[in-house]
Structure 1
């Protein structure tokens, strides 16, 4: 095959430049909107499906739902590994959508066929639970959807951001604008599902209630495929996990070697890192200096470096060391998100059960009742309104004082979200006290199926506060992880976002299980009863979660105070002034070795 001449190369580069850009967003966002519509319609009312259709006890159903959500948040690390290592984000998304669709088809068929669920139990007393075989069908479908989500969640956001190339400094304004509007559009899709799909599930049938989201997933898949010729598909440059392992192993091997005071003596090779540093080289930082040992040039490295064939399990470049450091610096913020998620994990279970016992008429004279799961509409509405006002009013106002085009930093935005979330659970505890007070006055404590004469709108404040908290925290965290992660680990960073959600869901399960077990009194009553929520102490649970969140906010503040932002040396185009490319020549290699070889390590 003949090599390309300059004209051919110019044509090829021109074709590459035509790929990506804003024109790809309608297809990607159409996929995401349909995907979110389907996922919300599937998950939002799942607690009702488990407790009413399958007759699973409340605590067991809540834990099943939380465990499924948690699993769905852990599988993204597998999807990120596949996307960043060899498959690329595009093909990871395509395969994941197919797997997700298969899971939804299975549960939809089971909802249509009566042999897949037990007899209905309207009294909720002495109900026959779903058999093991019936539960197996449920678990298989949930597992497949969790695997599918594992592929789409870490890849779609990063894939869309790749089309806009928002990782460069000149694109910062586009960055925060993109993440705000991305989350806003998905919230609108969720709002549609919470109103339309949940109503069909409660009023028409579960078969159609799950069938519509299944059809929406087909539309999502087709929409994504249609835009394929326009996408900029970044080629994966090998597993980031392997590079991380290489840095750690190299540092361990050189644990007895002193780290030089001058960081310029550490190994750099821009040709080697070209594929993983297209936006610029990561600059050396003085944090976590123990890992700098991986970049020390020793006598054993000399021969290989002179022949330009370094052994990457023995020596790593500064850029690769800083990749690891950048990811480690993100971990404390990932951990703070665990308790944030735990605080609102009850939204899909206990709050819905509260709503089922309350007067859900839109007005006193209206015959229409709001489906319990549709109360999450207020959460989504608050999220949408907050994002719209944040973009239009808050950012311009704050920018006047902070001189930051995004208004406030991501860390500040996340901190506001933490504070608002604390208020949400605290308000929830007072609302529960009010609800039970009315039930007691009307002698309805022992009648779990009777409607308590208190408006369901009492739940609106806590839903609203949760929505505002997510608008600040979740969007801020999404942007923060994307911006501060190395360019070759964007999918991995998005996976960390979902892992925090998964751990938060599991923390919620653990909290519910422990409270259910250890809060029981001598009569067997506990804070979170299985069947009759009126006899519980849900307000105590909310207060406990509030206290834990206060501690978490203090921990977050400490993490933010000591955080060092990712330093990046932006790549200049060849031939431009200011090109800072460094070359490690043979003489420098020898000089570095003579300068520090054989010295004992010092504490750094």
Structure 2
């Protein structure tokens, strides 16, 4: 900036903030004088230049706020009013609120007071009664505490149940190990897959708040069905004597099986819907156009993950102990109760929320682009992207909707080529550049999404086969206490409970100093670190399983029967190594995915895009079931156990080879991820308004 000082206020800080904005938006380019760097294409330089123009605008506003007083230079004051009275967007409501704070209470009923009242309203948001939401009374940090409470209670119930369900399926419902593992992974996979449905509904039909409430009610109904079956033994399959090695256990079937699956999948529908709506609902409480509030989004997602770990810790300890020692009926009853209490917490904050107004179906908008592009497949795309059709700013519901043109997937640009047949008609005949870019964003996300699926497959093993390993090992802790095998997951969870706040409060600010990124490191870097750690976790799991089997062979305990015989003389804490490494992996990848899909998605489809995180988990669990079935079939005739993972006896199986298989696949998948993450182009938001130039000249 050419002006170094105004009214004694230095602009040096303003210049530094401008550099931070450029770095944050990947627009910081080293160059000499005003020449473009060698090796950069002219069109790339022009695009970066256009995107960078919004950074000085933001900094000029902050500088204006810093020196503004009612009796100061008239032209500067007029410049400020120019922003107010010409409906210039991009943080206007933030500027106006700062102006009110500096000047004191404005004259009631004055024209300027009415104007400021108008821009205190948040476009695209309403309160619980359907009235326009106001920045001063809705949203912010106070609103997300209710979301945090629900997240803790929901994960207490859900994680505490799924971590131990394999035991319930095998010991009560008489399923074999592989079938029990597949039943669990299919259930969890369906739960996360249904988050796509929940995200779709909250984006285009119901608000995210209403979607969450209805989903929670369905989830409670599912737990109640499971409670009834677990309480009434007549709804169980015939129980058998597991001490008799020749006994044939009849697994659950018929109406009893139907009741089990009705309960499970009511929980799946409800939990999937609430997960898809609650995470973006909390992020909606912060305004991305307000520089101060925008920085809270990263903190929110870190704290959301912290709440997930706190709830999960309580689930795998307290709830698992109740299930094992007090009965599954009491366990399901507590799950229903805590989820109901979580719903009450959400309802208590209803008057303080910002509720985003549902818009057009995101799938419809994407489909329109492909349909119109196909119709216009014979047309030529103009060489100048500015010749493509773009909607008028007044048509945009949110300023963050307006996206700049990118060069990828040029075929889709044909949907924005104006024709005589398309003028004045619906989006099934002509799409705007912004709508085309929304479709491109979703397409660009798909390789990133696919690259994270295998990590979820690795996670599935920690909730199935690793639990079964723990059942065979020495779980004593002192003379009178025995750790339930599913509670081993508490090892990484306790570590994450301690590390997540440290990461958010200390590591992120430190990394921000070096990277200039609001989150310390980019979302894609965070995901990549998690993928590497998941591969290491599977390698550790394979080594531990080799040692466990060797101990069983040395002690002649290959035919060990859990519960009925003494455990293998090897501490269950050996399994803590793989849990610990994968826990760190989850800290990076889970939060990175939530932030990536939320921040990159168009504003009108953020619930749907955020649910890609849970859909990735879903695909991972389904892939685990596929791997188990295929590997058992492929190795049936070459192993004495009739398959690597066949039957009840884990000591006769080859779980170690399955872990090595996943470790090698994870390494290959990481290199696949590196390729796609370097190819990915971030969302190009247009933050530049030509009218800024005119207003600067007026000063």
CA distance in 2, matches of 1:122, 1:367: 27
Which residue, out of 576, 589, 613, partners 1:497?
A: 613
- 1:31-430 map, 5 Å: 31-121=150-240, 123=242, 125=245, 126-166=248-288, 171-271=293-393, 273-275=395-397, 277-302=398-423, 304=424, 310-363=425-478, 366-430=479-543
CA contact (8 A) 2:203 2:358 kept: yes
> How far apart in 2 are the matches of 1:447 and 1:259?
70
What SS does the corresponding residue of 1:300 show, helix, strand or coil?
coil
Give the Cα separation in 2 of the matches to 1:168 and 1:378.
39
Q: Are the aligned partners of 1:168 and 1:279 in contact in 2 as well (CA < 8 Å)?
A: no
Q: How many positions carry a matched residue from both structures?
A: 567
The structure that is helix-richer by fraction is 1
Once the two structures are superposed, residues 290-310 of structure 1 have per-residue CA deviations (whole angstroms, 9 ceiling, x without a partner) of: 1111111112234x2xxxxx3
Among 575, 582, 602, the alignment partner of 1:459 is 575
Aligned partners of 1:525 and 1:535 also within 8 Å: no
How far off is 1:109 after superposition?
Answer: 1.4
Tell me the CA shift for residue 397 of structure 1: 3.5
Corresponding residue SS for 2:686 = strand
Q: Shift of residue 122 of structure 1?
A: 5.7
Of 127-136 and 203-212, more deviation after overlay is shown by 127-136
> Would the aligned equivalents of 1:259 and 1:292 in 2 still touch at CA under 8 Å?
yes
User: Closer, same or farther in 2 for the Cα pair 1:19/1:206, shift >3 Å?
Assistant: same
For residues 522 and 533 of structure 1, do their structure 2 counterparts lie closer, same or farther at Cα, with a shift above 3 Å needed? closer
Question: CA-to-partner distance for each residue in 1:201-257, whole Å, 9 max, x for gaps?
Answer: 111111111111110011011111111111111111211111111111111111111
Call closer, same or farther: CA 1:266–1:540 in 2, change over 3 Å.
same
Task: Tell me the equivalent position of 1:595.
Answer: none
Shift of 1:337: 1.1
Cα distance change on mapping 1:439 and 1:568 into 2, 3 Å: same
**Aligned-pair CA distance for 1:146:** 1.2
Q: Confirm or deny: 8 A CA contact 1:58 1:531 kept in the other structure.
A: yes
Q: CA deviation at 1:9?
A: 8.2
Q: TM-score, normalization: structure 2?
A: 0.78
1:485 Cα deviation after fit: 0.8
CA–CA distance in structure 2, aligned partners of residues 563 and 369 of structure 1: 49
Q: Which one is further off, 147-156 or 194-203?
A: 147-156
CA contact (8 A) 1:52 1:121 kept: no
Does structure 1 retain, via aligned residues, the 8 Å contact 2:231–2:329?
A: yes
Shift of 1:529: 2.5
Q: Could you tell me how far 1:525 is from its partner in structure 2?
A: 3.1
Question: What root-mean-square deviation, in Å, do the aligned CA atoms of Structure 1 and Structure 2 show?
Answer: 2.3
* Maintained 8 Å contact 1:96/1:147: yes
| Residue 11 of structure 2: aligned partner | none
State how far apart, in whole Å, the 2-side matches of 1:220 and 1:132 are.
Answer: 34
Q: For residues 340 and 616 of structure 2, what CA distance do their matches in structure 1 show?
A: 29
1:432 deviation in Å?
Answer: 0.4
CA contact (8 A) 1:381 1:467 kept: no
Q: Deviations over 1:425-478 (max 9, x none)?
A: 000001001101111111000123331010001100000011011001111111
Which position in structure 2 is the counterpart of 1:444? 557
Aligned equivalents of 1:425, 1:389: Cα separation in 2 = 26
**TM-score where L is the length of structure 1:** 0.89
Rounded Cα–Cα distance in structure 2 between residues aligned with 1:104 and 1:11: 47
**How has the CA–CA distance of structure 1 residues 392 and 230 changed in structure 2, closer, same or farther, with 3 Å as cutoff?**
closer
- Measured in 2, the distance between the counterparts of 1:385 and 1:27 equals 22
Could you say if the C-alpha distance between residues 62 and 336 of structure 1 is closer, same or farther in structure 2, counting changes exceeding 3 Å? same
Give unpaired runs (5+ residues) of structure 2: 1-108, 122-132
What SS class does the counterpart of residue 454 from structure 1 fall into? strand
Q: Does residue 20 of structure 1 match 2:139?
A: yes
1:533 counterpart SS class: coil
Q: 1:379 to 1:522 in 2, by over 3 A?
A: closer
Structure 1 residues 511-550: aligned runs within 5 Å:
511-520=627-636, 521=638, 523-550=640-667
The structural deviation recorded for 1:16 is: 2.3
After TM superposition, give the deviation of residue 41 of structure 1 in Å: 2.1
Partners of 2:256 and 2:276 in 1: how far apart? 31
* Cα gap change, 1:297 to 1:138, in 2 (>3 Å): same
- Tell me which moved more, 67-76 or 125-134: 125-134
* Structure having the higher Rg: 2
Q: Partners of 1:229 and 1:321 in 2: how far apart?
A: 36
| Contact residue 382 and residue 465 of structure 1 kept, 8 A | no
Equivalent-residue separation in structure 2 for 1:84 and 1:404 (angstroms): 29
- Asked if 2 retains the 8 angstrom alpha-carbon contact of 1:167 and 1:175, the reply is no
C-alpha offsets along residues 285-343 of structure 1, whole Å, 9 cap, x if unaligned?
111111111111112234x2xxxxx3211100111011111111111110011111112
For 2:225 and 2:165, locate their aligned partners in 1 and report how far apart those are by CA, in whole Å.
15
